[in-house]
Amino acid sequence: MTIDWSWIGDHTDDLTTLTVSHLQAALSAVLFGVLISLPLAVVAHRIRPLRGFLLGISNVLFTIPSIAIFVLLLPVSGLTRTTTVIGLTIYTLVVLLRNTVEGLDSVPAKTKEAAKAMGTRPLRTLLTVEFPLALPVIMAGVRIATVMSISLVSVATYIGDGGLGQLFTDGFQRNFPTPVIAGVVLTILLAVVADAALVAVQYVLTPWRRRRA
Amino acid sequence: MIQFDAVHKRFPNGTTAVHDLTLDMAEGGVTVLVGSSGCGKTTTLRMINRMVEPTSGTIRVGGQDVTRQDAAELRRSIGYVIQQAGLFPHRTVLDNIATVPLLLGHGRRKARARAAGLLETVGLSAEAGKRYPHQLSGGQQQRVGVARALAADPPVLLMDEPFGAVDPVVRTQLQDELLRLQKELSKTIVFVTHDIDEAVRLGDQIAIFRTGGHLVQCASPTELLARPADDFVAGFLGAERGLKLLSLKTLAAVPQGPAPEGGPWTLVLDAANKPLHWASDDAELPVRALKDDDSLLSALDESIASPTGLIARVDADGVLTGVSSRDDIHQHAGQAHTEARVAA
């Protein structure tokens, strides 16, 4: 299996476009996943009976095969990026929802109690005490969801999207390994860089965890 | 300042935490609620700022029924120091202290300036303000907890076993600081503890609770120690009730005279007439010089430790003013007791 470097040289623009498109799909999915998970997690955290139900649903959704999800979405959103992002978003929920609920659970009761006793109202406590303290656990979920989404984008090649995934079908159809290898390497690079970026974001957002006494 | 009127608290599980409590807490005084665990003292405290709602009865703070006020606003107007400080781990010390001023809508700058001033009030360095709670010792965290409660200058301060989690040496320091602060600030303080010595030390008024949420006796420390209402209170105060009472009386009234010449032991002074130690021909023993505002208990203790039975008395600068004998101290101790026990 040899790499045809001249093909890579001739296709840098395409590779760049595909990489950007790939990253956009993955990050959109994580962003929507977070936006959906945060309120659902608050509900699951506050209302115990709903907790198992909501986490159960996110588990069930995760087990639906990706092709099935895309097929089911076709009548709704067609062969578009929207379909890709909806599908990927559904998969992120399983980690994002669970981690956000666990993050909220991990906030010490004593600290919430203190906030209440100082006269902080529930919404403000949620935003300024509970979310910040849950952040490390939530961010752990965001990191997993991001890496998972980056690796899953390729599946959307079935519906004509798929970012770097298109390189796999291309290489497979022509029995030409170079695009496949380039696609794999770029996907891994994306995952590593995105994960490192999230670690940096968390570092910036949680100054109190930096200097452990 | 704070009035409990026939207050009853029964929890949903059926246990009665507070039983028909009627109690007045005077403005500017320290009321200590004391009793073994499960006696309802913490529940009583938490009903004042509506962390717990009473089942029946009324609680008034400054004449106003607490249940008729917005709970969050009420809590902002009452300082609260929680067991083990309960600081926000993700906020700097300064921002922890600024919590209530910020909630009240004071600007960030003003709130931080106020917080910086309070750091000094509770004996912390300005540098500590930039740290996070986990970087402080338990005692320092507790000081921050007190500063946070004082930040909005509330007239009432609730303290729920605030010094329970620190070692005895630090606890004594924190108690001293609280007494010093209270002299300056004259807050109405409600203090919960299970430590009777702490209660005697800090309280202007001590309320003793028995399991089941019954208030057994509420009185000044002296009255409580001299005339416990029943065997339960007497048992709770412990066997050394008499000595504890002496810890509340000062040495001031005990007569003093010049240090006697001759005898095997001499009190050695330095050039400024400050006591150094007791000396005999072949030995030296340390001396603990006492001031007028030291307690009769410490005088009794020192008179036992002293090889001559005499205690060295000094003025505020540590200069010798005279000595008092074991007999004089003993006599005053006995007198103090009798007075306390027959007083109406």
Tens-place pLDDT, residues B83-124: 877 899 999 999 999 999 999 999 899 999 999 999 988 889
Mark whether B195 and B291 lie in a shared domain: no
Mark whether B68 and B128 lie in a shared domain: yes
E-assigned strands of chain B? 2-10, 16-25, 30-34, 56-61, 64-65, 78-81, 156-160, 188-193, 205-210, 214-219, 266-269, 275-279, 284-286, 310-314, 320-325
Q: Which of A111, A118, A213 sits opposite B75 (nearest CB)?
A: A118
Percent of chain A residues topping a pLDDT of 90:
75
Alpha carbon separation from B75 to A55, B64, B216 (Å, rounded): 36, 14, 28
Query: Residues A115-134: pLDDT tens digits?
Result: 999 999 999 999 999 999 99
Mark whether B153 and B290 lie in a shared domain: no
- Mean pLDDT over residues B309-323, rounded? 92
Domain that holds residue B13: 2-240
What mean pLDDT is reported for chain B? 91
What mean pLDDT is reported for chain A? 92
Residue B344 has pLDDT above 80, yes or no: no
Residue where the block lists tokens 């607490």: B66
Mark whether B79 and B168 lie in a shared domain: yes
Mark whether B184 and B300 lie in a shared domain: no
CATH no. for residue B313? 3.10.580.10
Residue A213 has pLDDT above 50, yes or no: no
The sheet with strand B284-286 has its strands ordered as B266-269, B275-279, B284-286
Q: Which of A113, A133, A208 sits opposite B132 (nearest CB)?
A: A208
Q: Which of B66, B77, B90, B148 to mutate to test the interface with A (most CBs of A within 10 A)?
A: B90
DSSP H helices in chain A: 5-10, 12-46, 48-63, 66-77, 81-105, 109-117, 122-125, 131-152, 165-174, 177-205
The C-alpha atoms of residue B208 and residue B217 are separated, in whole angstroms, by 5
Looking from the CA of A25 toward its CB, the CA atoms found within 13 Å total: 33
- Mean pLDDT over residues A178-194, rounded? 94
Indicate the SS3 state at residue B314: strand
In a domain, B259, yes or no: no
CATH no. for residue B100? 3.40.50.300
Closest alpha carbon within chain B to A113? B86
In a domain, B261, yes or no: no
According to DSSP, the residues that pair with B219 across neighbouring strands are B206
Count CB-CB contacts under 10 A for residue B303: 20
Query: How many independent structural domains does chain B possess?
Result: 2
Where is the domain boundary, B205, B240, B275? B240
Query: Residues B275-300: pLDDT tens digits?
Result: 999 998 889 999 999 999 899 999 99
On whether the CB atoms of residues A155 and A166 are closer than 8 A, the answer is: no
Taking CB atoms and an 8 Å limit, are A118 and B82 in contact across chains?
no
Mark whether B289 and B177 lie in a shared domain: no
Residue where the block lists tokens 């390189």: A167
Indicate the pLDDT class of residue A159, thresholds 50, 70 and 90: confident
Residues 66-95 of B with CB under 8 A from A: 72-77, 80, 82, 84, 86-92
In a domain, B304, yes or no: yes
Residue B87, amino acid: L
Mark whether B126 and B91 lie in a shared domain: yes
pLDDT score at B14: 87
Indicate the SS3 state at residue A18: helix
Indicate the pLDDT class of residue B170, thresholds 50, 70 and 90: confident
Mark whether B316 and B195 lie in a shared domain: no
Closest alpha carbon within chain B to A210? B132
Mark whether B177 and B314 lie in a shared domain: no
Residue A211 has pLDDT above 80, yes or no: no
The C-alpha atoms of residue B289 and residue B295 are separated, in whole angstroms, by 12
Q: Residue B90's closest CA among A87, A86, A130?
A: A130
Query: Residues B182-233: pLDDT tens digits?
Result: 999 999 999 999 999 999 999 999 999 998 889 999 999 999 998 899 999 9
Where is the domain boundary, B222, B240, B258? B240
- Mean pLDDT over residues A157-170, rounded? 88
Mark whether B284 and B230 lie in a shared domain: no
According to DSSP, the residues that pair with B8 across neighbouring strands are B56
The C-alpha atoms of residue B250 and residue B281 are separated, in whole angstroms, by 34
Mark whether B105 and B204 lie in a shared domain: yes
Domains and CATH numbers, chain A: 15-207 (1.10.3720.10)
In a domain, B247, yes or no: no
Taking CB atoms and an 8 Å limit, are A115 and B88 in contact across chains?
yes
In a domain, B303, yes or no: yes
Count CB-CB contacts under 10 A for residue B69: 14
Rounded to 10°, the helix A131-152/A12-46 angle is: 140
In a domain, B29, yes or no: yes
The C-alpha atoms of residue B87 and residue B132 are separated, in whole angstroms, by 9
Residue A165 has pLDDT above 80, yes or no: yes
Mark whether B216 and B318 lie in a shared domain: no
Q: Residue A22's closest CA among A199, A167, A139?
A: A167
Query: Residues A142-151: pLDDT tens digits?
Result: 999 999 999 9
Chain A partners within 8 Å of B75 (Cβ) = 116-119
- Mean pLDDT over residues B147-160, rounded? 93
In a domain, B246, yes or no: no
Classify the complex by whether its ipTM is higher than 0.85, answering yes or no.
no
